[in-house]
Structure 1
């Protein structure tokens, strides 16, 4: 059997988070994601326009903190935009784990954490930045 048509990118991520409302604020107000819908008091869907982030409410840090996720990234279209995000997140008091740095493949990124401790990587990557997905 032949493999089907390739996937068109990884565009959905579901996180169980604590503290829930602080994470909703982080992704909506600070990271600029649009709220697509609140399914209920414990589940919300957000988007940058070509993806889908699901946040569900964990009822304790222990419940949300035991996972194998290392990090996930938000793609930016230029190195200048990456620097602007770094300065903005710094001004917002978001915990920054490192400073913008170059990768051997031409990418540039830095890491921060959301209120639940998930590591978020804003990244410029020449192979995918600037692509507008429909």
Structure 2
């Protein structure tokens, strides 16, 4: 199949935001993204932010515009300590969609919350077991 070698990875994830300033503040101050750059190619302003190897593009939606061309269901962030991450979200008065992290099996946990424009976001943690401590496994 020829197309199999064309696609190499994800360049960025576009997330619509109702207020670009509020979106940038949330992603940089609460979720520790780095603002790479901003540009305004037309009516909407764009902001590109990076966390680790992931880049997101915030696309500002102006008054009266709709989300006609789709939306992102959710964006998931890996975390090293999901309980600390949830506490941080609570401290920053983020809208939470559940009370506690949920076990999703095999040592994996998730937790859903909302961004400043109502976008659905997820925390994800996978607990790794060091098998070298269990030589018979």
**TM-score with structure 1 length normalisation?**
0.78
Deviations, residues 72-101 of structure 1 (Å, cap 9, x unaligned) = 101113xxx111110010011000001211
C-alpha deviation, 1:122, in angstroms = 1.0
SS class of match (1:110): strand
Q: Is the 8 A contact 1:17 1:64 kept in 2?
A: no
Structure 2 distance, partners of 1:69, 1:25, is: 20
Structure 1 distance, partners of 2:23, 2:64, is: 13
**Gapped runs of 5+ residues in structure 1?**
128-134
Paired residues for 1:98-117 under 5 Å: 98=98, 99-117=100-118
Q: Does 1:95 align with 2:95?
A: yes
Paired residues in the alignment total 123
Q: Does 1:123 align with 2:124?
A: yes
Paired residues for 1:1-134 under 5 Å: 1-2=1-2, 3-4=4-5, 7-8=8-9, 10=10, 12-40=12-40, 42-60=45-63, 63-64=66-67, 67-77=70-80, 81-98=81-98, 99-125=100-126
Q: Is the 8 A contact 1:17 1:57 kept in 2?
A: yes
Q: CA RMSD in A?
A: 2.5
The structure with more radius of gyration: 2
